Amino acid sequence: MTSPQLRLAEEDDLPAINDIYNYYVPRSTCTYQLEPESMADREAWFREHQPDRYPVIVAELDGDIIGWGSLSKFRLRAAYAPTVEASIYIHHDFHRRGLGRLLLTDLIERARRAGFHSLIGGASADQVASIALQESMGFRRVAHLVEVGLKFGQRLDVIYLQLMLGAAPT
C-alpha cells in the first residue's frame, strides 16, 4: 500500500473515526463500551480534545481514514495533569501493517512535546495485540486489576501499562 499520512483530526473525520470504533463495540473486549457511540457523544468527545495537549490524530490513506489515536485526560482531578492516556483504533481491515506502531510513536512524541510526565495505556488482559504493541514500545505493565469488567458474559481483567516520559515538574 502507499504510505498512510498522519495528521490532526478534523470535525469531518468524526464519522469515520466513529465507524472504526463502533465496529469493535459488539465484537471485542478492546473497548468496554456495550452500546455504539453516538455521533453526538463523539462530537462532545472531540470538543474535549485540544490539539496542543489532548490531540486526536488520524491515519489517512488515499483519502480514507484507516486508523486514529488520541491523548486523553487520565483522570479528571487536577493533580493528575502530568499524566495522559493513549488510545488507538485501527480499521479492522488494516491490522498488522505497522499502523498501530506509527500512531503510537506519534502520540508518544506529542505527549513528550506537551510536557507530560507519563503516558498510560489500558487494555483488557485478553487483548494480546494491544499489550504486545505497547510493550514493544517500552511501556511497562504496572497494574493488573482483577475481574473489573463484564462483557460477552465473561469477567474481564484490565492491565495498565505506563511509559515514563520524564518531564520535570513545572
Interacting residues with ligand COA (CB under 6 A): 24, 30, 87-90, 95-101, 123, 127-130, 132-133, 136
Question: Would you say 21 and 89 are in contact if contact means Cβ atoms under 8 Å apart?
Answer: yes
Containing H/E element for 6?
Answer: strand 5-8
Q: Smallest gap, in angstroms, from Cβ of residue 29 to ligand COA?
A: 9
Cell of 93: 481491515
Smallest distance from ligand COA to CB 93, Å: 11
Closest CA to 119 of 87, 146, 145: 87
Q: How many CB atoms lie within 10 A of CB 8?
A: 12
Residue number with CB closer to ligand COA (23 or 112): 23
Q: Which residue is nearest to ligand COA (CB)?
A: 100
Q: How far is the CB of 132 from ligand COA (least distance, A)?
A: 3
| DSSP type of residue 97 | S
Nearer to ligand COA, 158 or 170 (CB): 158
Q: Which is nearer to ligand COA, 28 or 82 (CB)?
A: 28
Per the listing, cell 494491544 goes with 130
For 38, residues 6+ apart whose C-beta sits below 8 A from its C-beta are none
Cβ 81 to ligand COA shortest distance, Å: 21
Please report, for the chain, how many H helices and E strands are present, in that order. 4, 7
CB of 90 to ligand COA, least distance (A): 4
Nearer to ligand COA, 128 or 148 (CB): 128
- The Cα 106–Cα 67 span in angstroms is 13
Closer CB to ligand COA, residue 18 or residue 87?
87
